[in-house]
A and B are shown apart, each in its own frame.
Chain A
């Protein structure tokens, strides 16, 4: 555990909680992609199956349980409790175009051809692109609520901090996980355009809106 890793995990946690609170407080999931949230629930489910097979630390177990629990709570709020406010007409990204290729790639490029390891690999690849339906929704509506942009910012910062964590671990522990690193770089790059808008607009007090 190093400072980048801890800060990354906390940023990830902050993102998840910001989203849950936003939906709960406003009683609305307008502007939120339910599809991205289903993908994240799938990511956590397939990645944390090792909860059943190996114990790493209390911290590790606690965070995994919280991430999974929050992911399903978010999906529940979007598709059940506040279904009436769900922006289904704009949330039209075809997720099969992500899940199918990512599933194929997980079978082809993995550390070990075993069920748990393939599912872990699948989750890593899927996480790197799971935000695309959300970004697609924003590009369709042309705007995002400020609180939604805070959520996205925390989520992007989390993966960027993990990149620093991997640099740290490479130098000080000789740890090197090519699959996680490549997927993490891809994931971080997907947020770059958003980071730019966040810094130039949201941080200056303006609403994030895209030019028509």
Chain B
């Protein structure tokens, strides 16, 4: 997964 696109979980 691309780690630079941010985390979708809160």
Binding site for B on A (CB under 8 A): 5, 9, 12, 47, 50, 53-54, 56-57, 60, 63-64, 67, 111-112, 114, 117, 120, 162, 165, 175, 177, 180
Q: Smallest CB–CB gap between B8 and chain A, Å? A: 5
Q: Please give me the residue from chain B that is nearest to A176 by CB atom.
A: B1
Check if A5 sits within 8 Å of B9, measured CB to CB: yes
Q: How far is the CB of A173 from chain B (nearest CB, A)?
A: 10
Complex CA–CA separation, A5 to B9 (angstroms) = 8
Verify B3–A50 contact, CB threshold 8 A: no
Dominant SS at the B interface?
A: loop
Inter-chain contact B3/A56, CB cutoff 8 Å:
no
A190 to B9 alpha-carbon distance, docked (Å): 21
B1 partner residues in chain A, CB cutoff 8 A: 175
Q: Which residues of B contact A64 (CB under 8 A)?
A: 10
When distances are taken between beta carbons in the complex, the residues of chain B under 8 Å from A50 are 6-7
Contact A111 B10 (CB under 8 A): no
In the bound complex, what is the Cα–Cα distance between A130 and B4 (angstroms)?
Answer: 26
- Given A12-B10, A63-B10, A111 and B5 contact (CB-CB distance below 8 Å): no
Q: Which residue of A lies closest to B1 (CB)?
A: A175
9 additional contacts, CB 8 Å, given A57-B8, A63-B10, A165-B9? A5-B9, A9-B10, A12-B10, A50-B6, A53-B6, A54-B5, A60-B8, A120-B7, A177-B7
| Interface contact A56-B4, CB-CB below 8 Å | no
Chain B residues whose CB sits within 8 angstroms of the CB of A12 once the complex forms: 10
Q: Which residue of B lies closest to A48 (CB)?
A: B10
Task: Name the residue on B nearest A110 (C-beta).
Answer: B3
CA distance A5 to B6 in the complex (A): 17
